[in-house]
């Protein structure tokens, strides 16, 4: 397959879909034959799993057209969904969340029948399609989309005004799903192999900014509207698609990177030009650091944009959104409380990292969101390492440990659109920092990070694939380290007991077989020691007076 193709895998299902039609013509939905985990519903299953109605067709392209009506806070549009059949089939699952509604579905000249079940629709083709057929349907929809009450942490439309009283509108949908504002195959495992066209129609005084490159702008003088046509040529995850509407101006730029000239665009409000010109010098610095650590920016063809929005920011592919107030830190604060966090603009660094981890290398299942967020958190540390010092980078990531809760595992529940705990950020970042120091070879570690993006270039992945690749590339088996930090809430405790001139070391609160090297300072002398969950005795030649664990290892120490 070409490198830009994201293979679509048919994954095992938690349960199968069974339906029947009652004599009244209404659909009767029986219970799923396999019980769902406690607290989850059939809707969670339909949203989070590869149902049979999703499995038989592979996405090729989206052509989304949407008109935004500010007065009524409503939208109306359509999406041409192009696909290639994996096997034969005649029933499709298309997702669109209430209160939006699908009004028509066409297949060529045919009007298709469809039925709604909660947040998804069942689309019926008149005759089955054979395997290996390229085809498309067009889905028409309209309504008042969900309004986001706390963007970006809640999904939907944000209907705001800017400081000058002009309309300022944006979409967010991470977690809740892109189907909260447009109809699609709303599952991370399948992305459109040849990208997406996005056409947004807005009042003529406003500008609509979306993903990819602006192809053209059409003015309808009679309707007093403009339609902005954006094109994405690379595969794109659904939640990475966004629309931003406002009184925008464009500030162009370029960056000379590993793959040549990368076009930069900064879309800011008219009154923000001076502040943006000053603050957005952070972008080339960010790209330089991450091309060093992770490899070339993944979307040269689609450019890099930084777009001002009325919320904090998000990692929309080739359209990174920004609302950090043109300040360093996180809204002007240092999350690490070390002073290091004020050396960079948190939102530019964190959200731009997702171009590599989240948009280039994308999770197949929401349970594996750590692949996006742990690496993005860790990248804040790597930015400091690249532009400042390794010592300051360590201070920053270690300083953020106080934000870790250890209440739930980092990995969520599969096939149910269920993410793990928020510890995927700071715990995940500290896990990766610890792994760097376990390996104790920065050249090799950089090869691992760049290798992930090269190996899984423009692909969707599982946790198991990422774990296996890291261990193989590093030449060290990190499998139990991943088990410890991603699948349990326990932090390893290094237990020590002195006896005469020796000291015994062992790990406590660890998964069976846990064995890693750590750096210790024993009696003032630094040494690298491999410790397992079984006691290891070290002859000191003198009585133990003190023992400290290097802070770069996210572990604790306690005397037996």
Name the 3-class secondary structure at 437. helix
What local confidence, expressed as pLDDT, does residue 33 receive?
A: 53
Percentage of the chain modeled with pLDDT above 90: 94
Phi, psi of 225 (to 5 degrees): -130, 165
Distance CA 459, CA 215 (A): 26
Distance CA 166, CA 468 (A): 51
Asked if 513 contacts 480 with a C-beta cutoff of 8 angstroms, the reply is: yes
Of 317, 117, 320, whose CA–CA distance to 234 is shortest?
A: 317
What local confidence, expressed as pLDDT, does residue 15 receive?
A: 37
What local confidence, expressed as pLDDT, does residue 34 receive?
A: 54
Pairing of strands 196-203, 57-69: parallel
Phi, psi of 204 (to 5 degrees): -60, -25
- Structure pTM? 0.93
Distance CA 48, CA 13 (A): 10
Domain ranges of the chain: 279-298+324-489, 493-559
Instruction: Write down the mean pLDDT value for the chain.
Output: 94
DSSP string, 194-258: T-EEEEEEEETTSEEE-SSEEEEEEEETTTTEEEEEEEE-S---GGG---EEESEEEEEEEEEET
CA distances from 172 to 177, 238, 318 (A): 9, 11, 15
What local confidence, expressed as pLDDT, does residue 548 receive?
A: 97
Q: Cis link prior to 152 (omega < 30° from 0)?
A: yes
Distance CA 324, CA 332 (A): 8
Asked if 376 contacts 357 with a C-beta cutoff of 8 angstroms, the reply is: yes
Domain 493-559 fold is Immunoglobulin-like (2.60.40)
Q: For 390-444, how does the pLDDT look when each residue is reduced to its tens digit (9 = 90+)?
A: 999 999 999 999 999 999 999 999 999 999 999 999 999 999 999 999 999 999 9
What local confidence, expressed as pLDDT, does residue 21 receive?
A: 32
Summarize the confidence of residues 345-369 as an average pLDDT.
98
In 233-391, beta strands by DSSP E: 244-246, 248-257, 260-269, 304-308, 313-314, 320-322, 361-363
**Mutual orientation of helices 442-455 and 426-439 as an angle, nearest 10°?**
120
Q: Is 50 exceeded by the pLDDT of residue 378?
A: yes
State the DSSP H helix or E strand holding residue 125, giving kind and residue range, or none if neither. strand 120-129
Residue 546, token pair as written in the block = 């003190």
Name the 3-class secondary structure at 190. coil
Distance CA 479, CA 497 (A): 28
Q: For 29-73, how does the pLDDT look when each residue is reduced to its tens digit (9 = 90+)?
A: 444 455 799 999 999 999 999 999 999 999 999 999 999 999 999
Summarize the confidence of residues 60-88 as an average pLDDT.
98
Q: What share of the chain is helix, strand, coil (3-state, %, to 5)?
A: 25, 35, 40
Summarize the confidence of residues 156-174 as an average pLDDT.
97
Distance CA 31, CA 104 (A): 28
State the DSSP H helix or E strand holding residue 430, giving kind and residue range, or none if neither. helix 426-439
Pairing of strands 313-314, 320-322: antiparallel
What local confidence, expressed as pLDDT, does residue 35 receive?
A: 79
What local confidence, expressed as pLDDT, does residue 31 receive?
A: 41
Q: What is the distance, to the nearest Å, from the Cα of residue 214 to the centroid of all Cα atoms in its chain?
A: 24
pLDDT bin (cut points 50, 70, 90) of residue 267 is very high
What local confidence, expressed as pLDDT, does residue 14 receive?
A: 37
Domain 279-298+324-489 fold is Neutral Protease; domain 2 (1.10.390)
Distance CA 538, CA 273 (A): 63
Q: For 489-527, how does the pLDDT look when each residue is reduced to its tens digit (9 = 90+)?
A: 999 999 999 999 999 999 999 999 999 999 999 999 999
What local confidence, expressed as pLDDT, does residue 25 receive?
A: 30
Distance CA 212, CA 220 (A): 23
Q: For 188-247, how does the pLDDT look when each residue is reduced to its tens digit (9 = 90+)?
A: 999 999 999 999 999 999 999 999 999 999 999 999 999 999 999 999 999 999 999 999
């Amino acid at each position: 397959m070409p490198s830009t193709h994201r293979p679509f895998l048919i994954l095992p299902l938690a349960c199968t879909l069974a339906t029947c039609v009652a004599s009244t013509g209404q659909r009767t939905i029986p219970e799923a034959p396999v019980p769902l985990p406690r607290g989850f519903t059939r809707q969670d299953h339909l949203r989070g799993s590869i149902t049979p109605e999703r499995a038989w067709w592979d996405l090729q392209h989206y052509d989304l057209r949407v008109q935004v009506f500010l007065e009524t806070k409503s939208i109306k549009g359509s999406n041409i969904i192009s696909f290639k059949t994996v096997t034969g089939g005649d029933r499709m699952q298309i997702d669109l969340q209430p209160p939006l509604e699908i009004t028509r579905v066409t297949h060529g000249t045919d009007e298709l029948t469809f039925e709604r079940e909660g947040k998804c629709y069942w689309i019926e083709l008149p005759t089955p399609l054979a395997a290996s057929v390229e085809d498309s349907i067009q889905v028409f929809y309209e309504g008042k989309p969900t309004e986001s009450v706390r963007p970006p942490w809640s999904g939907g439309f944000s209907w705001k005004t800017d400081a000058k009283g002009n309309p300022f509108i944006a979409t967010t949908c991470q977690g809740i799903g892109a189907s909260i504002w447009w109809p699609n195959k709303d599952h991370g495992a399948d992305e459109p192999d040849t990208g997406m066209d996005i056409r947004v129609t807005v009042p003529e005084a406003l500008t609509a900014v979306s993903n990819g490159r602006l192809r053209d702008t059409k003015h309808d003088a009679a309707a007093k509207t403009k339609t902005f046509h954006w094109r994405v040529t690379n595969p794109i995850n659904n939640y990475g698609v966004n629309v931003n509407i406002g009184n925008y101006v464009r500030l162009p730029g370029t960056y000379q990177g590993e793959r040549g000239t990368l076009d930069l665009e900064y879309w800011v409000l008219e009154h923000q030009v001076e502040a943006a010109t000053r603050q957005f010098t952070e972008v080339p610095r960010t790209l330089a650091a991450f091309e060093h650590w992770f490899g070339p920016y993944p979307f040269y063809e689609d450019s890099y944009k930084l777009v001002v929005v009325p919320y904090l920011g998000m990692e929309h592919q080739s359209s990174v959104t920004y609302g950090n107030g043109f300040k360093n830190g996180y809204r002007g604060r240092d999350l690490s409380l070390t002073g290091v966090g004020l050396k960079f603009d948190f939102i530019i660094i964190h959200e731009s990292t997702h171009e590599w981890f989240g948009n280039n290398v994308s999770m197949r299942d929401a349970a594996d969101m750590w692949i996006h967020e742990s690496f993005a958190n860790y990248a804040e540390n790597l930015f400091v390492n690249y532009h400042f010092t390794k010592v300051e980078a360590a201070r920053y990531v270690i300083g953020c440990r106080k934000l870790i809760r250890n209440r739930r595992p980092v990995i969520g529940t599969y096939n149910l659109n269920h993410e793990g705990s928020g510890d995927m950020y700071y715990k995940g970042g500290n896990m990766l920092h610890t792994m760097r120091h376990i390996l104790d070879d920065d050249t090799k570690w950089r090869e691992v990070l760049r290798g992930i993006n090269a190996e899984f270039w423009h692909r969707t992945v599982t946790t198991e694939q990422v774990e296996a690749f890291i261990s193989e590339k590093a030449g060290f088996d990190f499998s139990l380290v991943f088990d410890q930090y991603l699948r349990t809430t326990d932090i390893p405790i290094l237990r020590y007991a002195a006896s005469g001139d020796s000291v015994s070391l062992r790990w406590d609160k660890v998964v069976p077989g846990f064995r890693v090297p750590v750096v210790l300072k024993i009696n003032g002398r630094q040494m690298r020691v491999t410790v397992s969950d079984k006691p290891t005795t070290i002859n000191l030649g003198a009585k133990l007076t003190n023992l400290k664990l290097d802070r770069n290892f996210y572990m604790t120490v306690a005397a037996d």
